[in-house]
Amino acid sequence: MKRIFTSVEKMCCEFYPAFYLYHSIYKNVMRNEIKLANITSNDVVLNIGCGAIPFTALHIVQMTGAKVIALDKDKEAVEKAKKCLSKYKLQKNIEIALGDGIVENLPDFTVAIIALHVKEKATMLENLKLTKSPGARVVFRQPAVGYENEYGSLPDKYVPDGKISQKMKTFKESYLYHIS
């Protein structure tokens, strides 16, 4: 399923009606996550796993005015994301970069949103705890029952500080964690 979505995103980003439709599907998800993490225009949001259609970054900028640094480890997705943002003149407050959020030095951030398809969620959370961003909020999309093996999930020992329900097939909740 992950590979299908990745391929669809890469195809859709070139065709505006498909780009817009794909982007619009996540509007309520992002509205919920913005509320959960209390994202404002004063935040710097790190979006890990942005894909070729950086809908998380776009919604955050459009709904809050925050600055977003969006990472993806797929070089083709990064190039396509940059191209589509430029083509549709949507690049304001969004920086797209190559990176996986685990091994490189991460920029300072106040909020991080981790895409569902980032499989090593526990490793990601531990890595984010080591950053120089104390007080930051981190949002993870937890897979729905039956999708844990494909997308990875946070073990039960990681009790969230907050959570919100989502009406998506592949994930039903977004979890909030505070970095201390």
Q: Is the pTM for the entire model greater than 0.85?
A: yes
Residues 56, 28 contacting (CB under 8 angstroms): no
pLDDT at position 104, please? 63
pLDDT at position 49, please? 94
CATH label of the domain that carries residue 71: 3.40.50.150
pLDDT at position 23, please? 74
- According to DSSP, the β-strands at 171-178 and 137-143 are antiparallel
Number of domains within the chain: 1
Range of the domain at 18: 2-178
The phi, psi pair for 163, rounded to 5°, reads: -155, 160
Task: Give the whole-angstrom CA distance, residue 128 versus residue 178.
Answer: 10
Residues 50, 77 contacting (CB under 8 angstroms): yes
Ranges of residues in the chain whose predicted pLDDT is under 70: 1-15, 103-104
Residue 4, judged by CB atoms within 10 A of its CB (0-12, 13-18, 19+), counts as exposed
Count of H helices and E strands in the chain? 7, 7
pLDDT at position 81, please? 93
